[in-house]
A and B are shown apart, each in its own frame.
Chain A
Amino acid sequence: MTKVLVCILLLTFLPGQSDDMSVQDIIKAIDNNLNAKSRILTSKMVVHGRRSSRTIMSKNWVVGTDQAFTEYLSPPREAGTKMLKLGDKLWTYSPQTDRVIQISGHMLRQSVMGSDMSYNDMMEDRPLEELYGATLEGSVDIDGRDHWIIFLEAKEKGLSYPKRRAWIDKQYLLPIKEELYAKSGKLLKKATMSDIRKVQGRWFPSRFYFKDELKRNSKGTEWVINEISFDVNIPDSRFSKAFLRK
């Protein structure tokens, strides 16, 4: 899901593209933009549960695709919880237990803070070109804007979403909508984005919506970017296990 998110974010950095781009060009362009040097963002996640909604504030520090650090700011029960991703490893720190715990195995399939995103979604950051073969299925008009429809199929086993279909805005090069499928073709998740604005001279989507289609009666999760800055120097010490306890 982070992949989708980063795709969405970074596709905004591409200038408007012409209709004659090949699907490989589009995927390459996406991958080129995925690997931003660094970014710091503050966001709000609104998890619409079956009974009520919860708002979780967090701050993220990200370098490339291998290093990410998240600190949860609110609500009080979540405040102080931190997560560190280094390559394919993920640790979490909870101030209540004062424990640094590596999340692995089936726990990676669990939802992040009760949202419609899983830890696995956060972990899969490798370039799309490496992971998927792409097919251009056609073009479609959505709300008066031209979109490509691209179908992606996994080249290797073990991915959370072996198949996915994305609707790419031709001007913003943003996947306005994406559907994520299991190998069997069963729809697992849906993602959309909106509220596109210019940030540091680039188009930037500030509101995302994710829905886990396997959760019955789920009303989905909204993710709203409040602030984002790119190419900021982030000290290496931030991405250490020791920093989790600070």
Chain B
Amino acid sequence: MIRFLIKGLLRDRSRSLFPVLVITLTVTLVIFAIGFMKGTLNSLLLDTAVILTGHEKIVTRAYSEESQLMPNDLALLDVDRLIDDLNQDYQDFFWSPRITFAGLLDVPDENHETRSQGPVIAFGIDLLSDGSRQAEIWELNRALVSGNLPKDNSDVLISSKLANQLNIAIGEIVTFIGSTMDNAFTTYNFKVSGTFNLKKGQTDKQMMLVDLSGARLALDMDNAASAIFGFTHSLYYDDEAAVALRTHYNNTNSDSLDIFSPFMLALRDGNQMGAMVDISGAMLAIMGGIFMVVVMVVLWNMGLMNGLRRYGEVGLRLAIGESKGQVYRSMISEAVIIGLTGTVMGTGIGTALTYYVQENGIDYTKGIEALSNSSMVMPNIFYAQVTPDLFYVGFIPGVLATVLGTMLAGLAIYKREMAQLFKELET
């Protein structure tokens, strides 16, 4: 029976080609739109996660309370052991230590006297370890404006804005002036290996990036870190999973009476990030919902029109002896076949397109640069995101709406009067 219906559909392209094309196109749009919206919202969260919060962040309880002050005297100790434990217990994430510190950057002249000086916010990130993904998630190869990425622990990357402000050239020695983990005064020389521009407005205005080992030497933080950042391997933030992991970790590893015990924060626990996560989730649900309804109406209508267009054919089939139930079921079966074919094709094309944009992104650099006065961490390239639900969400409009439309149109079959059929056929 199915084979018979498929043959019929293939031979009568007016019944198959156009509907399949419409469903394919529509499902492709649904998949891509949802994937792009998810990816874009994830890009917004990821930029904040990379710079400030991680998908998960572990700090001491005391550091958590004063994190705005970057209190490295409250930093995590014995970090290697903590990372080993995390890698063992929470394998869905990759974990990396981070030192966040601030001070002054002093640029000497030829007499070693101060030529220029300015405030700096520095991040000690793991750039040099084998297998570290920090350069990847910071997108440093793309962000590099001049010079090279750090090759040893005394190398530093300076934001191009800061380099211009202090008139720093590649290869120059600059002195960081700040405080050690013990709050002692410290000065430390770094060699400028390159300049970068994150292209996220004013975010990197006073930023410099050094390897974790260099930051540890400068701040006397042997095997210590301000925080340990955790990211999912796919870099996609799943709020529900992140909150569950945070709760589990704190229940099993954190002592509420010890201010130096490790304490995990999910991305949503950062400043106002909870509201942002909730808003982005709600926006996604509303926009996705509206889009799905519109698409379903279109496909429902297409199913309906297809059914009505075959009014004469149905009459003929009834006249030559097919039962109403048989005709009705065959039309629904055809709708299922068309819906499935279009949905599978649409899902394939949609996920492929989404994957392409996930890997390559859509560059909005000029538009974002125009917002350079904004203090918000904004991505300049928007990426889509292939998520598991994209593989089934297309079936709702693609199959369900088409079949429902056909079922509705098919009800007319049962209203046909056999006595009227020949009169109708005569005309």
Contact = CB atoms under 8 A, between A and B. Distances in A.
Contacts of A81: 185
Nearest to B183: A114
Given A100-B112, A114-B179, A50 B187 contact: no
B177 A107 contact: yes
Given A50-B74, A94-B187, A217-B62, A101 B177 contact: yes
A96 B187 contact: yes
B220 A98 contact: no
Contacts of B186: 94
A112 B185 contact: yes
B87 interface: no
Contacts of A96: 187-189
A113 B187 contact: no
B177 A78 contact: no
A52 B184 CA distance: 13
Band of interface residues on B? 20 to 34
A97 B73 contact: no
Contacts of A112: 185
A98 B187 CA distance: 9
Interface string A39-51: 0000000010111
Contacts of B106: 99, 101
Contacts of B112: 98-100
Contacts of A49: 73, 182-183
Nearest to B119: A106
Contacts of B260: 51
B183 A97 contact: no
A35 interface: no
A89 interface: no
Contacts, number: 68
A100 B187 contact: no
Interface in B141-183: 175, 177, 179-180, 182-183
A181 B260 CA distance: 31
Contacts of A78: 184
A110 interface: yes
A210 to B, nearest CB: 14
A100 B177 CA distance: 11
Interface string A66-79: 00000000000110
A49, A51, A98, A111 pick with most chain B CB within 10 angstroms: A51
A99 B220 contact: no
Contact of A97 (B62, B113, B175, B220): B175
Contacts of B259: 217
A157 interface: no
A216 B182 CA distance: 15
Contact of A111 (B177, B179, B188): B179
B108 A99 contact: yes
Contacts of B187: 92, 94, 96-97, 99, 101
A102 interface: yes
A126 interface: no
Interface in B111-157: 112-114, 119
B104 A107 contact: yes
B184 A54 contact: yes
Contacts of B179: 110-111, 114
B84 interface: no
A240 to B, nearest CB: 14
Interface string B82-126: 000000000000000000000010101000111000010000000
Contacts of A47: 182-183
A47, A54, A217 pick with most chain B CB within 10 angstroms: A217
B182 A114 contact: yes
Contact of A110 (B108, B113, B185, B189): B185
A76 to B, nearest CB: 11
A50 B63 CA distance: 11
B79 to A, nearest CB: 15
A51 B220 CA distance: 15
Contacts of B220: 77
A172 to B, nearest CB: 32
Nearest to B182: A114
20 contacts: A50-B73, A54-B184, A56-B184, A77-B220, A94-B187, A96-B188, A97-B188, A98-B112, A100-B113, A101-B114, A101-B175, A101-B177, A102-B114, A103-B177, A106-B119, A111-B179, A114-B182, A114-B184, A114-B185, A216-B66
Given A47-B182, A101-B114, A111-B183, 5 more contacts: A56-B184, A77-B180, A102-B114, A107-B177, A114-B179
Nearest 8 A/B pairs, CB to CB:
A114-B183, A94-B187, A114-B184, A97-B187, A97-B189, A113-B184, A114-B182, A99-B175
Interface of A: 47, 49-52, 54, 56, 77-78, 81, 92, 94, 96-103, 106-107, 110-114, 216-217
